Amino acid sequence: MRYFMALEIPQNCQKQLEGVQRQLKEIIPQIRLTDSPKLHLTIAFIGEQPDYLKEDLRKIIVKAVGGIPPFTITPGYIDGFPHLHSAHVFWVGAKGDIDKLMIIRERIKDGLSHLGLDTDERRYVPHIAIAKINGNFQLSTEQEAKLQNMMLKEFAPIQISSIKLFESVPEEGFHHHNTLAEVPLTSS
């Protein structure tokens, strides 16, 4: 199975992100938009692993969220990987109670290390991938000005009350995501 751990984006925020995607598509017509049901904020990408690890991965999430009450994040800005000017992926960055998200992320990395799984050591930036682009894309000055004028201030905060373990299943060149486990956040 191809595993990842993430925050699911509620439908009301998906609708808001669709508006951002439409604006982005007008500015950069050649992008491929992420389907709304696939919008999520990844905490850890685990990749291809044996099926029997599913329960161990769920336990890592349970331990990682221990003592952390529900919290909120808010989509706040547009950027890209590796950077906005020559992005392969466009994303919306999150702000808000990021400290809680970072604690969960570090605990998950520790748990994955204990299982002997590789962890991404790059600086973690909480984000929601909204589009991809192929080739050697370069953002023009005009496109950059339009992106800077896009307003993300109207986003409603996203209430985070659980972390999910997903599998990513390839299907005709695309992937669909199945929820394998959902672990609620509680303060106790």
Choose among 160, 156, 179, 181: nearest CA to 168.
179
* Residue of 83, 85, 114, 127 marked catalytic: 127
Whether the CB-CB separation of 126 and 73 falls below 8 Å is answered with: yes
Asked about 127 being catalytic, the answer comes back as yes
Residue 177 annotated as catalytic: no
Q: Which residues pair with 18 in a beta bridge?
A: none
DSSP string, 16-58: HHHHHHHHHHHHSTT-EEPPGGG-EEEEEEEEE--GGGHHHHH
What is the set of active-site residues? 40, 127
